[in-house]
Chain A
Amino acid sequence: MSRQSEFAQAILNPDLPVPEGLQNPEGAPAGKRFSVYRNNVAVSLSEALEVTFPVIRKLVGDEFFKAMAGVFLRQHQPNSPVLMFYGAEMPAFLEGFEPVAHLGYLPDIARIELALCRSYHAADTPPLDPTALQAIAPDDLLKTRLHLAPPVHLVHSKWPVGSIFHANSSGDTPPTEMHPEDILITRPEFDPQVTVLPSGAGAFIAALIDNATLGDALKQATITSGDFDLTETLGLLLSAGAITKISKGT
């Protein structure tokens, strides 16, 4: 094993011995001095996860989160020095992490927090002027495609994760019963917003993300929901600056 392989493994696994040839000033084994690296790596990666997952941390408690982060970071080291995107494996990790098996909504909360992080750092694009939509003849409108801004993300959940998210980030009343929610993340200027979508809007926006025409997206929404409101959903997208471009469908 190479020197750095041995070093890296010993940093991540405190049960492994300190690599040979690391010394204190008297030439004796380095001992606790090596622990500085173990501590720095574990603490700094754990702190990076705290930055990305504040609501998960609030839901499970600080002490539990730290312990869980310690397990996570030993299974999933960052694959890039750009730590703002560290933790992409968190939803899948939570799905398989036995101690939180009773909190079925946690993976989707993690999906929201990852989407917020990506949204925060996404490219800036000028929003579409709402009058551009009004300028299109009604017959042509259903053939157009709406292009969504890079900070826009969608999370489907069988849990009321948007309501749980708001209750644990802005002090809203927590949901009293379990129900599915579709969550839209937008970034009107610099601060990403979490919106619980009205009925059918999740299917509609998912179709837009898949590059469907407005007509096909509308079909998807009405199949999903009997009371989908196109005007309300378009208004929501436009006011959040979520649409950047409109193009004629072919």
Chain B
Amino acid sequence: MLDTTGTPPQTLPNAPGVGYKPQHFAAIMEDPAPVEWLEIHAENYMGDGGRPLAQLRHLAERFPISVHGVGLSIGGADPLDTDHLKRLKHLCDWLNPASFSEHLAWSTHEGFYLNDLIALPYTEETVTRVADHVAQVQDILGRKMLLENPSSYLAFAESTYSETDFLTEVVARTGCGLLLDINNVFISATNQKTGAIDYIDAFPLDHVGEFHLGGHDQDTDDTGAPLLIDSHGREVADPVWALFDYTLSKTGARPALIEWDANVPEWPELAAEAARAATILQKAPA
């Protein structure tokens, strides 16, 4: 288990953050309110220099930064990509971010990267693999990581764990924290015809270091049943806000991120989503 005695002093505030987009740089530097921290996708900052790293250097002087990896393939059957781990370590050592997080999913197979967060079955075999990979990441980065719950579209016949039990087990084995994506909970519950509240009630909430809030698209499956797609391309849906409110009533305020990655709006619209999160965070129990 990771020794966390040397964790960096800076942490994410229990306030709204947003996923950083370069087109918002000037607006954020001028007036970020109510946004108090920023999240970047690690893979977009793995060049050697130029504008992306220059902007990040400026932002990191003013804001706590969360580094969110999207390409490590922690649920992959193959060993973790050591070149990619080195790139992550290089970025985290340089930036010393307030948080590092990745996904309970896989995306790389036999050396090829599919650029999607693909679900995995929840079995003894996969819990061991994921825990080993999380431990390896924490060991190499020298910091605790947060693992994010996925959005799911289908179920695996071979699963023997519920997702919440699976995550609880990974936490127990590795000492990692969790990133609870409220939109993903709502998507998965709708798509799997399970209860979103039940999921939150079963979730190991004590270990949540960050929330994600994003928008989803609506579709239907072959039977006409609702099929929600995790698109991050619009405002957060009302039932997701309600679920966030419910969750905070149990956890109190924690860092909460607005994710808007496609059809990215102008800054005022994104800031308005963050303001909505701020309102809910402010009335949460201390």
Interface residues of A (CB under 8 A from B): 2-5, 7-8, 11-12, 20-28, 30-34, 36-37, 40-41, 44-45, 48, 77-84, 119-124, 150-151, 187, 190-191
A120 contacts B116, CB within 8 Å?
A: no
Counting CB contacts under 8 A, is B206 at the interface? no
Tell me, in angstroms, the Cα distance from A8 to B115 when the chains sit together. 11
B155 contacts A23, CB within 8 Å?
A: yes
B225 contacts A25, CB within 8 Å?
A: yes
Chain B 58-89 near chain A by CB (<8 Å), digits 1 or 0: 00000000000011110011000101100100
Nearest-Cβ distance from residue A20 to partner chain B, whole angstroms: 8
Tell me, in angstroms, the Cα distance from A85 to B180 when the chains sit together. 31
Counting CB contacts under 8 A, is B283 at the interface? no
B48 contacts A121, CB within 8 Å?
A: yes
- Residues from chain A with a CB closer than 8 A to the CB of B87 are 82
- Residues from chain A with a CB closer than 8 A to the CB of B156 are 21-23
- Residues from chain B with a CB closer than 8 A to the CB of A11 are 114, 116, 118
Tell me, in angstroms, the Cα distance from A178 to B244 when the chains sit together. 62
- Residues from chain B with a CB closer than 8 A to the CB of A36 are 153, 227, 229
Tell me, in angstroms, the Cα distance from A26 to B193 when the chains sit together. 9
Partner of A2, one of B43, B77, B155: B77
Contact residue range for chain B? 35 or more
Of all A-B residue pairs in the complex, the 6 with the closest CB atoms, nearest first, are: A81-B71, A121-B47, A77-B112, A123-B48, A124-B49, A21-B157
Nearest-Cβ distance from residue A39 to partner chain B, whole angstroms: 9
In the complex, number of A-B residue pairs with CB atoms less than 8 Å apart = 141
Chain B 184-201 near chain A by CB (<8 Å), digits 1 or 0: 000000011110000000
Counting CB contacts under 8 A, is B121 at the interface? yes
Partner of B43, one of A27, A82, A190: A82
- Residues from chain A with a CB closer than 8 A to the CB of B73 are 81
Tell me, in angstroms, the Cα distance from A25 to B76 when the chains sit together. 24
B76 contacts A81, CB within 8 Å?
A: no
Counting CB contacts under 8 A, is B30 at the interface? no
Known A23-B155, A81-B71, A150-B48; judge A48-B225 contact (CB<8 A). no
Tell me, in angstroms, the Cα distance from A191 to B113 when the chains sit together. 28
- Residues from chain A with a CB closer than 8 A to the CB of B193 are 25
- Residues from chain A with a CB closer than 8 A to the CB of B194 are 25
B48 contacts A79, CB within 8 Å?
A: no
Nearest-Cβ distance from residue B219 to partner chain A, whole angstroms: 8
Nearest-Cβ distance from residue B1 to partner chain A, whole angstroms: 27
Tell me, in angstroms, the Cα distance from A40 to B216 when the chains sit together. 13
Tell me, in angstroms, the Cα distance from A48 to B44 when the chains sit together. 12
Tell me, in angstroms, the Cα distance from A20 to B114 when the chains sit together. 20
Tell me, in angstroms, the Cα distance from A8 to B111 when the chains sit together. 12
- Residues from chain B with a CB closer than 8 A to the CB of A190 are 50-51, 54
Nearest-Cβ distance from residue A219 to partner chain B, whole angstroms: 33
Known A23-B157, A25-B155, A41-B116; judge A82-B46 contact (CB<8 A). yes
Interface 9-mer from B6-14, B101-109, B131-139, B160-168 = B101-109
26 A-B contacts, Cβ less than 8 Å apart? A3-B77, A4-B76, A5-B110, A7-B109, A8-B109, A24-B154, A26-B223, A30-B155, A31-B222, A32-B221, A32-B227, A36-B229, A37-B118, A77-B113, A77-B114, A79-B111, A81-B43, A82-B71, A82-B87, A83-B113, A83-B115, A84-B44, A121-B50, A122-B50, A187-B50, A190-B51
